[in-house]
Structure 1
């Protein structure tokens, strides 16, 4: 998996890691993640108290979720202070979490939130609050020199509230209507025997059908196959939505470089909850020759 794929995978699981960490801290400490500077101290004390050394981290089945959650939280909090984005590079650490870059105007070096979280968990001192303090000093100096300056943060899907353009809403409405109109003819062409009844079992048939119609990445990208894959993605998403609720979403962008952009996707609830990505499941199913990814996506969505 290359660095762009690693970044994509991280941004997909980031909000789940944050939610899990928030649940754990609320349960164990009676604390909630509020994105305040003081919350980093709470998080450091929790990590140190739970672990204290690498051996304890290795022995904890929840460690990946908790430490990655701490990395996600630290990165997002630093970027709320100083702007910036998650990068495509990967760290030489136990898990693959990309570093963050502050707003370029600050000329700060990249920071690896996972290494900060691991340092705190191993008992290596207040790595989280130290980094926040260092960035805060630079931000303060920048504001003093340029009072009108404001940091720019690249929105993180599932964490930052999305800014929906009118054209995005219009595109989604048109797309949904077009696929619903095309579905009866699509179902007739590709076999009513498959039982296109929006059931989980029908996604097994759809996964196999996708690999027959789209035998490889070139076929997936072939404009001639666009009508097939559009309805297939719509059907996969509708099967999820009709089973567990949710809303279709859409954001402009290139799906090859930006998670959740360029293809319609689902969200279980408006502000939080599981994502459903039928289009991505189809693309990866074609790339990996795996007919089961749609069913797996369904199972994750309805949990």
Structure 2
């Protein structure tokens, strides 16, 4: 058995969770994606009316744009890798980060068998792990996380007549003691 495998076998749940969180927080894939979206943001902002302030209410504007530009889940997946969708995802995650103290993460080595491991997400910092408990006691790491693309999927599956607020409602998941994982 290699030393590395033995080292991982000796880790407790906390050490494993921390190691994974660290790897997802600091890696070239995430850094490149974040840089690309930040570089595109000014043009995206200009193209969509400007005045994007990263405040909670601005999520209603993103919600309206998603409903205006995308007609279905299939349409979203067909346009997933376009600058329009990627910057919109980045913007939603940045609102979470700036208003709820979350941080970006991305798997540095995504699994082909798990397509969501290829996508960026936001999560409460590891230092706040103890604030979130899984009521069933199954998951050691019960911090809420959100994949902005998943949030857009939810929007496209909802009745648009309900009005805006779905993206904003996700911010409530970060209250300590809650457990919700949006995959």
| Shorter-normalised TM range | 0.5 to 0.7
Q: Gapped runs of 5+ residues in structure 2?
A: 1-5, 130-142, 177-183
Aligned partners of 2:46, 2:175: CA distance in 1, in Å? 28
Q: Aligned-pair RMSD on alpha carbons?
A: 3.1
Over 3 Å counting, the alpha-carbon distance change for 1:253 and 1:219 in structure 2 is: same
- The ranges of structure 1 where at least 4 consecutive aligned residues each deviate by more than 6 angstroms after the TM superposition are none
SS at match of 2:117: coil
For 1:292, the equivalent position in structure 2 comes to 165
In the alignment, structure 1 residue 207 sits paired with structure 2 residue 63 = yes
Per-residue deviation, 1:299 = 2.4
2:30 counterpart (158, 163, 172): 172
1:181 counterpart (32, 39, 44): 39
Superposition TM-score, scaled by structure 1 size: 0.41
Aligned partners of 2:159, 2:80: CA distance in 1, in Å? 20
Per-residue deviation, 1:209 = 0.9
Per-residue deviation, 1:289 = 4.7
Over 3 Å counting, the alpha-carbon distance change for 1:293 and 1:160 in structure 2 is: farther
User: Aligned runs of 1:31-110 on 2, under 5 Å?
Assistant: none
Superposition TM-score, scaled by structure 2 size: 0.66
Q: Gapped runs of 5+ residues in structure 1?
A: 1-149
In the alignment, structure 1 residue 238 sits paired with structure 2 residue 129 = no
Aligned partners of 2:60, 2:15: CA distance in 1, in Å? 32
Count how many residue pairs are aligned between Structure 1 and Structure 2.
143
CA offsets, 1:208-265, max 9 Å, x none? 11011111112101248621111111100101101121321112246xx748522111
Higher RCO, Cα 8 Å, sep 6+: 2
Aligned partners of 1:259, 1:199: CA distance in 2, in Å? 30
